[in-house]
Structure 1
Amino acid sequence: MLEALERIKFVEEQNEREKEKLIAELAAYEASQKKILQEKKAELKNTFSEVSAEKEKNLTEKLAVEEQELTDSAEAAIKLMEKNYLEKKEQTIQAIIERVISEYGS
């Protein structure tokens, strides 16, 4: 009976050591997984920042192109209006001169 009790005590001690070993391994595994998770979070943040910066750059370039196109279009419209104005001005002056001549003579 004493031998059986000693055997039980020995097995319980072995189980306790195994339990402590497994708890330590689990803690180490948990720490390594947390480290991996932190690294992946940092990597995702960097990737997001890079993608965001690239998208912002592309949108800025696109906006600059659109702005230039609008500026060019506006300048062309202004030149056309100036041309039309000068043509109408000359025609109006000629019409006034002709009317004055026809009313009052030369």
Structure 2
Amino acid sequence: MRLLVILSPTDRWGTKTEYTRLRKFLHKDGYLRIAPEAYMRIVQNRKASEKHYRRIEEYAPKTGTVRLLRLTEKQYNNIYLVTGEADYQEKVVGINSHIML
């Protein structure tokens, strides 16, 4: 199961530091950056994803939006790349979804 975090920051004063804090937390917590404002992490099950939901809520900024999306491996494998190719990390994790990052 994969957990996607999608950020939509605002231009309000003071939000840049809040989003920087959230991005640093996501990086330390093992999330991969798959787009400029999208991060992904592999979780074992629904209960583990709910734990991460609560952890992200602690770091979530007061303005803008932070969206969390839970996907199964089968749903994630249906992603179709129009241009480019998957990153090295996505290739390795896609082959063996039990790698601990």
Question: Where on the TM-score scale, by shorter chain, does this alignment land: which range?
Answer: under 0.3
Comparing both structures, which one devotes a greater share of its residues to helix?
A: 1
Q: Which has the higher strand share?
A: 2
Q: Which protein, 1 or 2, shows the higher relative CO under an 8 Å CA cutoff with sep ≥ 6?
A: 2
The structure with the larger Rg is 1
Scaled by the length of structure 2, what TM-score is found? 0.20
TM-score, scaled relative to structure 1: 0.19
